[in-house]
Amino acid sequence: MNIRVGQGYDVHQLGEGYELWLGGVKIPHTVGSVGHSDADVLLHAICDALLGAAAMGDIGKHFKNTDPRWKGIDSKILLKIVAEMLAKGGYKIGNIDSTVCLQEPKIGKYIPDMIKAIAEVTQLPENCISIKATTTEEMGFVGRKEGLEAHAIALIYKV
């Protein structure tokens, strides 16, 4: 069996007048994530982990942030395209682990819905998807609530 791992990282600014999408779920909050797409930092990190595992480049290579097709796009669609690219390359996804760094709000209660959304898009069992969260104890750009970031790791394999 050919087993590979990939790592992904993404960061977005937080700003007034934007929605906060995380893991395919809209989180009620006073500020949102700024980007060309819906700026879902978690799904972007997961896309990059999957693309990295397959050595297929990164999200910006496949979905340029100057392309009007991706303006305001639901990042679940981007994740679906990435999952299809991997399937076309003969890869199956084993599991995904991730961490969201966000000072506020607390997102724990939304994580089960995020896992459901990601499972539906990737066709993975829910117990193969892990999402964790941490503040940065009020330090750095996350701690100052200027932005948020996500880290992800994915295992993929070919039988």
Ligand X SMILES: C[C@@]1(CO)OP(=O)(O)OP(=O)(O)OC[C@H]1O
Residues near ligand X (CB under 6 A) are 10, 35-37, 39, 44, 59-60, 63-65, 70, 73
Under rule CB under 6 A, residue 57 binds ligand L45E5XJ5: no
The correct pick among 95, 99, 130, 135 for binding ligand L45E5XJ5 (CB under 6 A) is: 135
Q: Do 44 and 152 contact (CB within 8 A), yes or no?
A: no
Residue with the two structure tokens 């200027």: 146
Where b means 16+ CB within 10 Å and e means fewer, 79-115 reads: bbebbebbeeeebebeebbbbbbbbeeebeebbeebb
Strands 92-101 and 129-134, how do they pair?
parallel
Under rule CB under 6 A, residue 99 binds ligand L45E5XJ5: no
DSSP H or E segment with residue 3: strand 2-15
Residue with the two structure tokens 């790592």: 7
Stretch that binds ligand L45E5XJ5, among 30-38, 70-78, 87-95, 129-137 (CB under 6 A): 129-137
The correct pick among 57, 60, 108, 112 for binding ligand L45E5XJ5 (CB under 6 A) is: 108
Under rule CB under 6 A, residue 133 binds ligand L45E5XJ5: yes
- Alpha-carbon torsion (56, 19, 67, 117), positive or negative: positive
The correct pick among 43, 59, 79, 102 for binding ligand L45E5XJ5 (CB under 6 A) is: 102
**For residues 63 and 110, which CB has a smaller minimum distance to ligand X in the complex?**
63
Partner in contact with 92, chosen from ligand X, ligand L45E5XJ5, none, beta carbon below 5 to 8 Å by kind:
none
Residue 135 among known ligand-binding residues: yes
**Amino acid at site 11:** V
Distance, in Å, from the CA atom of 86 to the CA atom of 32, rounded to the nearest integer, reads 30
Interface with ligand L45E5XJ5 (CB under 6 A): 102, 106-108, 133-135
Binding site as annotated, residues: 10-12, 36-37, 44, 58-60, 63-67, 134-137, 141, 144
